[in-house]
């Protein structure tokens, strides 16, 4: 079950495509964090969604937000995907134990062995708790997924003490 508004954001440490360890709580009080949960590198829908984020990084920079992608792929798959897509933000490998971090957020699909695509967006506020839902949408004319959606779906977390907590 996904964590609800008002619940603490589970802390975690995972390696990114450069083998660097990234710890969620290291951002608390320093930067906003956008967690992108997605099933697999190189899948058509995930590729299109990451293209949204790559193309709109300036929007996240305005929010002083660090984007973090998270799936069950290995660091090596993430490295190849990041290079192909021009992704500069960390892609976190929830590889072993498979899906353990995504499961803390209610985003691991154990019957399929993949991370679910985030379908709710949250903003984290004081004391690292989820406080508000947001949706990041692309405008008309952008490539659509099989379901016809033209939005990138994310979970948006804001660390304690950050004053830039408005929707943009």
Would you please indicate which residues are annotated as catalytic (active-site) residues? 46
Q: Where are the beta strands (DSSP E) in 11-57?
A: 13-15, 21-23, 32-37
Return all residues near 104 (Cβ < 8 A) that are at least 6 apart: 3, 10, 12
Among 123, 136, 119, 110, CA closest to 163:
123
Residues in the chain: 168
Supply 113's token pair. 């062995």
How does DSSP classify residue 149?
-
3-state secondary structure of 141: coil
Which whole-number Å values give the CA distances from 157 to 76, 85, 127, in the listed order? Answer: 26, 24, 11
Token pair 């710890």 is at which residue?
23
């Amino acid at each position: 079950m996904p964590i609800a508004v008002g619940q603490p954001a589970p802390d975690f440490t995972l390696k990114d495509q450069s083998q660097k360890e990234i710890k969620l709580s290291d951002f608390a009080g320093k930067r906003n964090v956008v967690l992108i949960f997605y099933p697999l590198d190189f899948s058509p829908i995930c590729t299109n969604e990451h293209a949204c984020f790559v193309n709109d990084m300036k929007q996240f920079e305005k929010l002083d937000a660090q984007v973090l992608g998270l799936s069950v792929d290995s660091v090596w798959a993430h490295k190849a995907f990041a290079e192909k897509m021009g992704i500069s933000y960390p892609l976190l490998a929830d590889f072993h134990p498979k899906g353990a971090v995504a499961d803390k957020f209610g985003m691991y699909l154990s019957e399929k062995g993949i991370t679910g695509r985030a379908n709710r967006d949250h903003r984290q506020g004081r004391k690292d708790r989820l406080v508000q839902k947001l949706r990041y949408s692309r405008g008309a004319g952008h490539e659509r997924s099989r379901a016809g959606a033209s939005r990138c779906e994310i979970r948006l977390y804001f660390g304690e003490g950050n004053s830039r907590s408005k929707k943009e």
